[in-house]
Structure 1
Amino acid sequence: MFVLSRVLFCGGVMVPERTSLTVCQFSVVHRLTSPRKNSPYSSVDSERYSSLVKSVMSSRISSQTPESLQAEDDQVYGPVVKAQMPSRNEPRVPKILYSLLNSERAIETEDPETGPPTRIMLNRGQGRPFVPSVTRILQQTLSPEQSFYLERWKRRMIAELGEEGFKAYSQNLFKQGKDFHAALEGILTSAETWKSGNLLETSEFPPEVQGYVQSISHVLEDVRAVRAIESTVQHSALNYLGIVDCVARYKGVLCVIDWKTSEKPKPFLSNTYDNPLQIAAYAGALNSDDNYKYQVENGLIVVAYKDGTPAHAHQVNAELMSEYWKTWLLRLEDFREPRSSASSSPSPEK
């Protein structure tokens, strides 16, 4: 009797472990087979892979289960520590919540008989203390995401136009905006012109702003009782200033109005980015400024288009204005905190 203790290949037939063959049986098998050919497994190191062969031959189903795998991983790598869900932070609130409205002034329901619109020029003469503007504060407190997209847009424009081309493009946009506001000032200070329907005769305006004027014509039909145009407002307690485009009634509601131009449609208030914060800042400053005897708690952002497409008019009611005012106060804190810490830190010794 011949006993095999490992897997053997006999004449091309694989024989399992511990298979008994008589010498006679072995020789008969050998005689009945064709002449032996070289097997592709002849070069396999059977000693090295014997344990693998045994495990495959002994069972067709793995004995490992999700539970056993988990136990094995715990032993090798340690138990799994599940991360806790991040807790929701409480919304940030201003350290000092200044009121948007002035408690010493009443909110007018009807406009008194007044003269021409107020226009207080900005005075930054020598010897006057520096007061930051609303525009400056917003620009220097942009979020990282806003800064990223603004810088990416600038790089893309420079790549398309070149440094000089981008500079000329920016200057042209500034000039168009300036000419547009000058045209608006002429329209709003001579109200009879657009009340009589002559506004559509845009040929009297510079060619580069005719489309913008056409774009806002339907909005101007609902604008009445202009109280201020291109006038400086300054918050006495918070110490910032700005130049408000217009204060007037829109559909009967007294509003701070901001006129904007855009090359892309902005059909939603969210498309106007920081503009709601800007008009909230202007409203708060106007309500605090002794040069104005009334106060405003509503806003209007009008986005005009060069091709004459009807402008989008985004109203900001009193409730929304109050929320934007709180956000503006936070931006004002962000603007001042680095400066206050820098001024309070000791100067290095020379």
Structure 2
Amino acid sequence: MFVLNRVLFAGSIIVPESTSLTACHFSAVHRRTCPRRNSPYSSVDSERYSSLVKSVMSSRVSSQTPETLQAEDDHVYGPVVKAQMPSRTEQRLPKTLHPFINSERTVETEEPEAGPPARILLNRGKSRPFIPSVTRILQQTLSPEQIFYLERWKRRMIAELGEEGFKEYSQNIFKQGKLFHSALEDILTSADTWRNKNLSETPQCPPEAQGYIQSISHVLEDVSAVRAIESSVQHGSLNYLGIVDCVARYRGVLCIIDWKTSEKPKPFLSNTYDNPVQVAAYAGALNSDGNYKYQVENGLIVVAYKDGSPAHAHQINSELMSEYWKTWLIRLEDYREQKSSASSSMSPEK
């Protein structure tokens, strides 16, 4: 006989609490006439498990509702903290938004008469005050993530090549880049047109740069009206300078053109890391520099490959340039704060 302490539902029969039922209530109505089979549980030691069966059958069924269970859980474990949707971090803005465009200059609607590209040399005399370059500022304001990946790459290269091997590798990369820029400068300043497919075979192109020149040959077909090559630019009020690779029209749009070399493909603008910020910094400096009578609102980053495979050309329109200009202003502020903190720590205590 089993004793049920709570209300049970057996089909459509409601059994009240503490009602005693005999086993016959749960027996089948019709008895089979076929030979009885041995139950697989007949060999179970019922005495051994009788206490377990009694404890299970005599346990009370909770009458709590979902609300009371929730209250009990809150009391024991504390209230449930629901995960919130991640909110977008507010974009950091520069403290002072210096203008990207020089309002005192008018935008050229027509191309001026053709002439030799400008090349203003950088003058760093001892008597002149130190002015940081765009490259220096960007290198000293790298994010922790950028520093981590850069150091990891360096350690991996040293482990593979050794200290001397890595040093030689870095020197070769620098040499190849310099030869590439020199050969490109000769091509762009040449009186002959460069729109042909045999640029890498020109006499002034060294063997180390032939692959890179061949790589950018299809880009050069869309370059015209070169205004400046390897020319320095300086922002008077923000006090920084840089050297622009090229200022020319690409597919009819006047651009700051930055020529880059890479061993790995960089098919997307995001693969070029801080290069768009660098281009925006150059454009802002040029627009402020009195040596240039025009303004540049667009940019172009060309990534050339040593094996001669087609270079990737990443255009940066005026809207994107404005955003990268804001990023540059933030990096410039960070650089100045670093310099200020360093100066304060080096000054003698009063």
Letter of the structure 2 residue corresponding to residue 146 of structure 1 = Q
Shift of 1:85: 5.3
Letter of the structure 2 residue corresponding to residue 275 of structure 1 = N
Distance in 1 of aligned mates of 2:83 and 2:181: 56
Per-residue CA deviations over 1:120-145 (Å, capped at 9, x if unaligned) read 11222212111111111111111222
Task: Name the CA shift for 1:276/1:191 in 2 (closer, same or farther; >3 Å).
Answer: farther
Letter of the structure 1 residue corresponding to residue 77 of structure 2 = Y
Shift of 1:331: 1.2
Q: Percent identity?
A: 81
Letter of the structure 2 residue corresponding to residue 150 of structure 1 = L
Task: Name the CA shift for 1:128/1:53 in 2 (closer, same or farther; >3 Å).
Answer: farther
Shift of 1:58: 1.4
Shift of 1:75: 2.8
- CA RMSD across the alignment: 2.8
Q: What residue in structure 1 maps to residue 142 of structure 2? A: 142
The normalised TM-score by structure 2 is 0.79
Q: What residue in structure 2 maps to residue 308 of structure 1? A: 308
Q: What residue in structure 1 maps to residue 292 of structure 2? A: 292
Q: What residue in structure 2 maps to residue 172 of structure 1? A: 172
Larger CA deviation: 269-278 vs 58-67: 58-67
Distance in 2 of aligned mates of 1:103 and 1:229: 25
Unaligned runs of 5+ in 2: 1-44
Partner secondary structure for residue 255 of structure 1: strand
Distance in 2 of aligned mates of 1:300 and 1:59: 78
Are 1:330 and 2:345 counterparts?
no
Q: What residue in structure 1 maps to residue 121 of structure 2? A: 121
Letter of the structure 1 residue corresponding to residue 149 of structure 2 = Y
User: Residues 1-350 of structure 1: matches in 2 within 5 Å?
Assistant: 55-59=55-59, 70-82=70-82, 87-195=87-195, 199-202=199-202, 204-343=204-343, 347-349=347-349
Letter of the structure 1 residue corresponding to residue 312 of structure 2 = H
Partner secondary structure for residue 304 of structure 1: strand
Partner secondary structure for residue 227 of structure 1: strand
Aligned residues: 306
Task: Name the CA shift for 1:145/1:106 in 2 (closer, same or farther; >3 Å).
Answer: same
Does structure 2 retain, via aligned residues, the 8 Å contact 1:299–1:321?
Answer: yes
The normalised TM-score by structure 1 is 0.79
Task: Name the CA shift for 1:151/1:71 in 2 (closer, same or farther; >3 Å).
Answer: same
Per-residue CA deviations over 1:290-322 (Å, capped at 9, x if unaligned) read 111111111111111111111111111111111
Distance in 1 of aligned mates of 2:53 and 2:126: 94
Per-residue CA deviations over 1:168-188 (Å, capped at 9, x if unaligned) read 111110000000000011101
Does structure 2 retain, via aligned residues, the 8 Å contact 1:202–1:214?
Answer: no
Distance in 1 of aligned mates of 2:231 and 2:157: 33
Task: Name the CA shift for 1:201/1:234 in 2 (closer, same or farther; >3 Å).
Answer: same
Task: Name the CA shift for 1:176/1:346 in 2 (closer, same or farther; >3 Å).
Answer: closer
Task: Name the CA shift for 1:238/1:160 in 2 (closer, same or farther; >3 Å).
Answer: same
Shift of 1:79: 3.1
Shift of 1:78: 3.3
Q: What residue in structure 2 maps to residue 24 of structure 1? A: none
Shift of 1:257: 0.4
Shift of 1:55: 2.9
